[in-house]
Every structure is written in structure tokens, then in C-alpha cells.
Structure 1
Amino acid sequence: MIRIDAIWLATEPMDMRAGTETALARVIAVFGAAKPHCAYLFANRRPNRMKVLVHDGVGVWLAARRLNQGKFHWPGIRHGCQVELDNEQLQALVRNRSINPTFKALT
């Protein structure tokens, strides 16, 4: 089982053609580093696709999800902000339900 202590959501869209190295570079650019036991979520512009990069302490995992219909209820773009989700918010987002995340200023 992969341990995840924190879940971070990127508010700006990412090209879903991105592979592991590109997604990792994006995590570093947006969040400063890929911290062990953290998950980082990205969506495309629509947003009907999602990628999740997880650092497990040894390496990284990259998973993708695509909706056949509808869109994820992704929070709007806020430059200079990070969004941390709890497990309940993640489950709602993955199930295509609305969430009310807390935006935190980048430090």
C-alpha cells in the first residue's frame, strides 16, 4: 500500500500527454519539491482528465483518470496559491462532486 500523508491540488491545468518526468518537473515548479508521502493532483484544461503523482519515499508513481462524460469540479485558477485536500475532499473530487478547498498562499 502507498502511504499518503498530504494531498495537494494544482489549480492551473496541465497537458495530459505529460509523462512521469514532466509531471515531476511540474510538481517541483508549482510546489517547490516532491515531498515523500505526498500526492499531487493535476487536471487538463476541460477538466475531464486528472493525473496524480505520488512520491512514496523511494520513487514516484503516476496515475491517470479520465471521465467518459462530465467534468471534475476543479477549483478555479488562483496564482500563488496551494490547495491542500483531505481524504474526504479527494474522494468527492474523484467521484465528480463539488468540494470547497482552502486556498493557502505560497510561502
Structure 2
Amino acid sequence: MFRFDAGLKVYLHREPVDGRKAINGLVVLVEQALCLNPFEPAIYVFRNRRRDRIKLLLWDRTGFWLMIKRLEADRFCWPKDAAVVTLTVEQLHGLLAGIDLAAMQPHPVRIYTKTS
């Protein structure tokens, strides 16, 4: 599997998107619905109503990439927090692997002291 650069921002479009939308239609959604610049170094993530397909839109200074993933036996777990959800690249890889990001809990902070 390929990996995205860790420095990229990741934005999720919360509402389902018509699966027939191509690059131009998704660019309009980025500009109008997310109020973001589609030409910045970021990945924009969209899903269909059934949550079994996901589309990634990415600008790489020479053109747009449109990537599609279809799950055969499961559904993508979509975060439900804010109007525009931002993720890290590692969280995006987890989402693409089918991990429920809302169920993930950070490890507790442990402080170790040196004893004599």
C-alpha cells in the first residue's frame, strides 16, 4: 500500500456525496461547502451515502489526483464531530483500513521517576 506524506492536511466532508461526482464537482464542494482552497497541500475525503466507498482528492502542483476505495464487506466509520473534520495522515490511513477513529483512545500519560 502507498503512504501519504505526513505533512499533508486531511479534511473530511461530513455529508454523503453523489458517487458520480468527478474532480470538478469535488473541487466545487471543497471551495463552497468546506470553504477551503483545493490547491493547498491537503487531501480532501468524501464518502457515499452507504459508506462503502470513499474518494480522496489531492492536488500535486501539476494536476489533481482522484482516488477511490470500495469496501466489499464493511462500512467506513465516519467521524461525527464538527462541520469540517481534520485528521492526521496516520488517522486517514486508519480510516482507509476500516478502523473506527471515534473508538480509539490515546494511551495514558505515564511519568517515570528515577528512584535511588
2:77 to 73, 76, 101: 73
Superposed CA deviations along residues 38-87 of structure 1, whole A, max 9, x for unmatched, are 10000001100000000123321111110111100012375xx2111012
Percentage of matched positions with identical amino acids: 30
Gaps of 5+ in 2: 103-116
Q: Is the 8 A contact 1:2 1:56 kept in 2?
A: no
Q: Alignment length, in residue pairs?
A: 98
Q: Is the 8 A contact 1:38 1:56 kept in 2?
A: no
Report 1:1-107 matches (<5 A).
5-32=8-35, 33-76=37-80, 78=82, 81-100=83-102
Structure 1 stretches of at least 4 aligned residues deviating more than 4 Å after TM superposition? 1-4
CA distance in 2, matches of 1:60, 1:8: 16
Q: Which of these two proteins has the greater Rg computed from alpha carbons?
A: 2
| Post-superposition offset of 1:29 | 1.4
CA distance in 2, matches of 1:12, 1:50: 12
Q: TM-score, normalised by structure 1?
A: 0.81
CA distance in 1, matches of 2:78, 2:32: 20
RMSD: 2.0
Gaps of 5+ in 1: 101-107
More strand as a share of residues: 1
